[in-house]
Amino acid sequence: MEVDYDRLEEALRVWSEERSCFEDREPAFTTDAGIPVKDLYTPLDTRGLDYLRDVGFPGQPPFTRGIYPNMYRGKLWTIRLFSGFGTPEETNARWKLLLREGETGFSAACDNLTTLALDPDHFPGIEAEVGKEGVPLYSIRGMEALIDGLPIDRMSVALVVTPMAAPAITTCYLNLADRAGIPREKLQGTTQSDVVTSSLAIMPWGAVSPERMLKLTCDLIEYTICMKEVPRWNPVNFTTYNYREGGITAVQEIALGLAAAVAHIDELLRRGWKADDFVHRLAFHLSAHRDFFEEIAKYRAARKLWYRLLKERYRPENPRAYHFRFHVQTAGSSLTAQQPMVNIIRTTVQALEAMLGGCQSLHTNSYDEAICLPSDEAVTLAVRTQQVLREETGVASVVDPLAGSYYVEHLTARLEEMIWEYFLRIEEQGGIIRALQSGWVHGEMAEAFHKRRRDQESGRERVVGVNCHVQECEEPPPSFRINPDAGRIELERLRRLRRERDNRLVERLKDELRGVCERDENVLPVVYRLTAAGASLGEIADIYREVWGVWQAPVGV
């Protein structure tokens, strides 16, 4: 349909004059990222849009409308809930429950000690942290208990760990698959191993520098993908979700993720690999937050920018390298302890954003997560949320159904522009690693966090049950409690392992790892043998700390 822009402009002028008699409830409207929102969008707002260049068809550049031609008409997104608590055996039982209820992918939420690459006897008293925030995985025996009786040759597993823990945790999984006789080409999964998350969150507890964490993650990429040891594995997941939970905007979220990916690509190119050797297995973990249309436009803009970045800088020949593949998690920071059942509505709306934006897998939060670790009832309902959206809404029947919306296309183009500008700001800092080392990213995160807190305290950002529509004398739902004996159980598991293993072999392999670290060689081959021999996560990570030192985050710089 041809658009007569002159006639449209005149008609809009007349309409605007009539509309000016109606008073708005707010003086101005903006998106969560601060983009001004007009009262009406028309073809005038997409006047410069070239359909084939800027939007295109699904499965074709610039991939605005999705990375596959038929998207969910062919294969639905993976239902992948992030779960773990107590002991590996208890988490195993939860995973089996979720498998029965229809979950199609699994994600291991690890406890704080596993995340920090510490053993439960690392310091006196820290065993109290065992299993509180996730599953404890301190050795191959913990991993063995976690996956016992599960069909890992037919299921995809995400190991949500930091670069400090990633080599050990991943090789525990690979060792067990090898022992079971499962061909590595059958294994599907992801290791999070995100440098930015680790550098922002855990530095006070003994991690190595961002530069060394980059090395560990690139070692994992090199071992699994470049060397074709585990060809269907995603050895890194740039977890922009975690950055977003700290208060940053959709613009900052995607820009930081792209900058992190560039650092890894450049390091592997420096090592002599080609982009075609590994880029097709890089993946992202994004947030679904509170601004419905902005989040959908964010996913569309991210796909476009990934294509642009690879096309302009790296030019891989493998067409799959241009596919921006991403998992989405609904926003935990949007959940409230007040009126927790309202969280079901928040999660459903955010899940719809992810689906309309074309995600590859999705975690839906449980309604009780602002109060406690999710209960069996809550996680089942979280799975059912996705199943209702899959089976009862029809939203998966058409690819990118919001394409052509004047507002969505305008917002996609504006976000693309703003994300790229912020990405270039990161590059001006010397790239993401230098921006972390200097404290620049920490400063950006702190500023964003305080702004969001001020907005909520002032009521500018309205949160049902917190600063509006408040109920007095609420009765909270029953809290899910973890096993109080988890610390004792895991300490005994570790002590038993140390009694039964060949300790002379472990010490020889630890010496070998020291040499590998000193020579800056790939740590994965020797870590694989260490975990097979029964070395613990903390023992392996202590070698990194010993050889490379512990980095102090420049908080407040």
Output the CA torsion sign for 81, 87, 88, 90: negative
Domain count, the chain: 1
User: DSSP letter at 361?
Assistant: E
CB 327 within 8 A of CB 283: yes
Count of CB atoms within 10 A of residue 18's CB?
Answer: 8
Q: Does the pLDDT at position 43 exceed 90?
A: yes
Amino acid at 324: F
**For the packed helices 250-270 and 292-309, what is the interaxial angle rounded to 10 degrees?**
20
Q: Does the pLDDT at position 333 exceed 70?
A: yes
Asked if the structure places residue 243 within a domain, the reply is yes
More confident residue, 199 or 418: 418
Angle of CA points 196, 290, 260, to nearest 5°: 15
The pTM of the whole model exceeds 0.85: yes
Q: Give the pLDDT score at 198.
A: 86
Average pLDDT over all residues of the chain: 94
Q: Summarize the confidence of residues 74-87 as an average pLDDT.
A: 94
How far apart CA 137 and CA 86 sit, in angstroms, is 11
Q: Does the pLDDT at position 406 exceed 70?
A: yes
Q: Give the pLDDT score at 1.
A: 62
Asked if the structure places residue 119 within a domain, the reply is yes
Amino acid at 10: E
Q: Which of 112-116, 199-203, 357-361 has the lowest mean pLDDT?
A: 199-203
- Find where tokens 């917190």 sit: 466
Q: Does the pLDDT at position 203 exceed 50?
A: no
Alpha helices in 291-405 (DSSP H): 292-309, 342-357, 376-392
Q: Summarize the confidence of residues 161-181 as an average pLDDT.
A: 97
Q: What percent of the chain has pLDDT over 70?
A: 98
Q: Does the pLDDT at position 192 exceed 80?
A: yes
Asked if the structure places residue 213 within a domain, the reply is yes
Asked if the structure places residue 521 within a domain, the reply is no
Sequence-ordered list of residues with C-beta below 8 angstroms from that of 382, at least 6 positions apart, any chain? 81, 347, 364, 365, 366, 367, 374
Residue-wise pLDDT for 237-261, tens only, equals 999 999 999 999 999 999 999 999 9
Asked if the structure places residue 551 within a domain, the reply is no
Output the CA torsion sign for 342, 348, 349, 353: positive
The token pair at 374 is: 């999710």
Backbone angles phi, psi at 92, to 5 degrees: -60, -40
Q: Does the pLDDT at position 519 exceed 60?
A: yes
For residue 109, the cross-strand partners are 160
Q: Give the pLDDT score at 556.
A: 52
Question: How far, in whole angstroms, is CA 407 from its chain's centroid?
Answer: 27
**For the packed helices 292-309 and 342-357, what is the interaxial angle rounded to 10 degrees?**
30
The token pair at 65 is: 């409308």
More confident residue, 510 or 471: 510
Q: Give the pLDDT score at 286.
A: 98
Question: How far, in whole angstroms, is CA 491 from its chain's centroid?
Answer: 30
Name the band, by pLDDT with cuts 50, 70 and 90, for residue 552: confident
SS3 state at 326 = strand
Domain of residue 100, CATH code: 3.20.20.240
How far apart CA 285 and CA 168 sit, in angstroms, is 21
Asked if the structure places residue 549 within a domain, the reply is no
Asked if the structure places residue 553 within a domain, the reply is no
Name the band, by pLDDT with cuts 50, 70 and 90, for residue 474: low
Domain range for residue 142? 51-458
Separation in Å, CA 496 to CA 39, 130, 186: 67, 17, 32
Asked if the structure places residue 203 within a domain, the reply is yes
Q: Give the pLDDT score at 384.
A: 97
Q: Does the pLDDT at position 557 exceed 50?
A: no
Q: What is the DSSP string of 109-171?
A: EB-HHHHTT--TTSSTTGGGGTTSSSB---SHHHHHHHHTT--TTTSEEEEE--TTTHHHHHH
